[in-house]
Structure 1
Amino acid sequence: MLPDYPRFEIAESFFNSVYCRLFDHRSLSPERLFIFSSQPERRFRTIPRPLAKDFFPDHGWEKLLHRVLTDLPLRLPWENKARDIGFIIAHLHESFGEEALSHCHLQVANELFYRNKAAWLVGKLVTPSATVPFLLPIHRTDDGELFVDTCLTTSAEASIVFGFARSYFMVYAPLPAALVEWLREILPGKTTAELYMAIGCQKHAKTESYREYCVMSPPPMSNLSKRPAFAAW
């Protein structure tokens, strides 16, 4: 493995896939392939390239949200940006209270998450007591204008959006491990495998799922080649 390769875990799963294809799933052992990762656990807790940007309500939440929506890499015009901002603020006031909201700030992922016909703004609402999800699905009208469909701010809602029963997101992730760590805070109930699946790394998600299984019920190394989970590679 190349030192400091940013997508090391994806490369390991690719190597496993090629090995299993060439050797017909025979002689599966830690000496021959990456049953467990060669890299430290949660390697990218700190990274040189920020994954998200912080927004503070120094001039009020209306201006903060206007800046957030304006900074999005979307070229189409908005149907009614002021209306959408008003709906978002009303939801935040109802959920957290106007006074508490004045002490909060947003952290928004640099990249949009795309799925089906929606572009999702994925962020975190950082409150004095906790960090909660902040999700905005952005849709396109028949006239080619953008609008925010809703505002989701609970872990339960975020868990459904990122659930395995839904299709995965398409998102630019040069550092998948770092993105998974960033998402983990607002999706505490998701396993590492589920988080990789949610961002479109299906093959590596299967690798992580098998690793989680091995940790829960560690087998003798001599029996690894008999485990059916390797068929996923």
Structure 2
Amino acid sequence: MREEQVKQSAQIIFEAFLGYNEEFRRISRRAVSRFENRQWKEGQQDTVERIELYEQWILAALEQIRKALGSELEDKAIWAEIKKEFSQLIQPYLDSEFMKTFYSSITRRVFSTLGVDARVEYIALDIRPTAKVETPAPSHSLHFRGSTRFLIDELLGFYSFNVPYRNIDRSVRYIAAEIDNHWRSIAGNRPLRKVQALEPVFYQSTRAYIVGHLEGDDLRVPMAIALQNTDNGLLVDTVLLSESEVSMLFSFTRSYFHVDLSTVADAIVYLKTLMPRKPTSELYTVLGRAKQGKTERYRSFFHHLGESDDKLIQAPGEKGMVMAVFTLPSYDIVFKVIRDRFAYPKTSSPQEVKAKYNLVFKHDRAGRLVDAQEFRRLEFPLQRFAPELLDELLGEAAATCKIDGDFLLVEHCYVERQLAPLNIYLRETSAEAKKLAVIDYGQAIRDLAATNIFPGDLLSKNFGVTRHGRVIFYDYDELCL
């Protein structure tokens, strides 16, 4: 009887993941027709539907397991056996680390795990999502044969749409000219040898992207060709040909891509070659795999915490009325904890603040809203906190932060990439950088308005600046549609 329960429970979780993953891919494949038919509103609805899938499949699997295990649902001994059985089931799969995250999402619902329990769940610190990648992601590779125009014409031939180009010859000439000019500027007399691009098209908002790289002798240049579907047919919107440009395309401030990947880990490995400074967690997240992005962010941060010795401190910038914000100086993320009481004139409740963050999670971020990941029941070593930060958390966020032995338990928080607060940036940067930031601040408000978002509070302290100099909004408690 027990052996049957173990096998059945492991199989339930295994099949639930496969079902979730297939449904995720099915929705992602809709992006092709959404783009071809210019169904932008429906495309955004697909994004929300896809985001909600994970929770739906987790809850459905959990309900089946409750029936299968009955009174033994919270028996850790049987879950240790289920974990062992599940590990055997997923062993052949390239994306088995995804499956481990899915499994642990279920066990944490069963046990409300504080920290991690290696007996019943997979420890994020040991999960290496790209560890099994041995072969490159499927791609088109073309060698230079004397003409960049011929090369690009052949490349575009691999990507067919049920919409004609407005002027295919002009598009080819434009891409070729951009590549030739950029290549000469960085490579000099070194010849272009090859262009390579991933087979799937990457869809985001109203654009489709062909993502790949140019290659020469000891030189590799990222490339993303942006296609726009207009009333008069397809045209090339722009060609991105630098790490910084492609990195901004895959930014933590943008909506998730819709791209049909049979396996994800090999695509991540390839994308890391284009953007080596981009955190792996953010690549998973921007591809729509938000839970795996969270797992990787957790793994990366706590691994770094174990290898470093600096103190967690209050984040730079003015003290927030709604959030207590802290960071580790040697690692560029911030933790945002909702305060017990909000200072005047704030009138919103913690529930309303959470609703605003959930809105951003599902909304088109237009490259101007930072992606905030929600975490629960995180444990930090007490000795890593600066005294003034610990006093603030225990005194002003006591409902969320509690001492548990040698650890501080944070029941709920949001984790974001750290940005330079705009008000501080404007005080400390050069006159030229200051001018550009102010102009981009205005553009950020325009971009948000285009997606029906108003920041609510336009003070510069509520905006941040990325390492690329882009102005981003990150204070969501007064955000509104």
- Using structure 2 for the length normalisation, give the TM-score: 0.44
Question: Hey, what's the Cα distance between the residues in 1 that align with 2:407 and 2:96?
Answer: 23
Answering whether residue 131 of structure 2 is matched by residue 52 of structure 1, we say: no
In 2, the alpha carbon distance for the partners of 1:15 and 1:32 equals 9
Q: What residue is the counterpart of 2:218 in the other structure?
A: 129
Distance (whole Å) between structure 2 residues aligned to residue 88 and residue 204 of structure 1:
35
Call closer, same or farther: CA 1:27–1:57 in 2, change over 3 Å: closer
Stretch moving more, 32-41 or 79-88: 32-41
TM-aligned CA deviation for residue 166 of structure 1: 0.6
Instruction: Report what 1:162 is aligned to.
Output: 250
In 2: Cα distance, 1:229 partner to 1:124 partner: 41
Pair 1:140-2:234 in alignment: no
In 1: Cα distance, 2:410 partner to 2:117 partner: 11
Q: Secondary structure at the match of 2:240?
A: coil
SS in 2 for 1:6: coil
Establish whether residue 87 from structure 1 lines up as the match of residue 174 from structure 2: yes
Q: Distance in 2 between matches of 1:74 and 1:147?
A: 12
CA contact (8 A) 1:193 1:208 kept: yes
Q: Does 1:74 align with 2:161?
A: yes
Letter in 2 for 1:73: S
C-alpha change, 1:231 and 1:93, in structure 2 (3 Å) is closer
Q: Does residue 13 of structure 1 match 2:107?
A: no
- AA partner of residue 120 (structure 1): Y
For the Cα contact (< 8 Å) 2:198–2:211, is it kept in 1? yes
Q: Residue 86 of structure 1 aligns to a residue in which SS?
A: helix
1:225/1:12 Cα in 2 relative to 1: closer, same or farther (>3 Å)? farther
**Measured at CA, do residues 15 and 53 of structure 1 come closer, stay the same or move farther in structure 2, by a change above 3 Å?**
same
Q: Residue 183 of structure 2 contacts residue 192 of structure 2 at CA under 8 Å; is this kept in 1?
A: no
Cα deviation for residue 69 of structure 1 reads 0.9
1:34 maps onto 2:34 in alignment: no
Instruction: Tell me if 1:175 matches 2:263.
Output: yes
Distance 1:99 1:81, change over 3 A: farther
Question: What is the alpha-carbon distance in structure 1 between the residues aligned to residue 131 and residue 262 of structure 2?
Answer: 14
Distance in 1 of aligned mates of 2:288 and 2:210: 17
Contact 1:7 1:174 in 2 (8 A): no
> Cα deviations across residues 141-173 of structure 1 (Å, max 9, x unaligned)?
113x11111111100101111010111111112
Identity of aligned residues (%): 24
Indicate the structure whose relative CO is greater, using CA pairs within 8 Å and at least 6 residues apart: 1
1:100 deviates by 4.4
Report the more deviating stretch, 50-59 or 12-21: 50-59
Given candidates 170, 174, 183, the residue that maps to 1:96 is 183
Q: Deviations over 1:60-87 (max 9, x none)?
A: 2111111111210322111111111111
Paired residues of 2:129 and 2:265 also in contact (CA < 8 A): no
Q: Is the 8 Å Cα contact of residues 92 and 101 (structure 1) preserved in structure 2?
A: no
| 3-state DSSP of counterpart to 1:217 | helix
Output the amino acid matched with 1:205: G
Q: Displacement of 1:208 after TM fit?
A: 0.5
Flag structure 2 segments of 5+ consecutive residues without an equivalent.
1-86, 307-379, 382-404, 416-481
| Root mean square deviation, CA, Å | 2.7
- The 1:190–1:99 alpha-carbon spacing in structure 2 relative to 1, beyond 3 Å, is closer
| Structure holding more helix per residue | 2
Matched position secondary structure for 1:114: strand
CA distance in structure 2 between the aligned counterparts of 1:146 and 1:9, rounded to whole angstroms:
38
CA distance in 1, matches of 2:412, 2:272: 25
Task: Give the corresponding residue for 2:303.
Answer: 215
**What is aligned with 1:65?**
152
- The verdict on how the C-alpha distance between 1:92 and 1:231 changes in structure 2, with shifts beyond 3 A counting, is closer
**Structure 1 residue runs without a partner (length 5+):** none
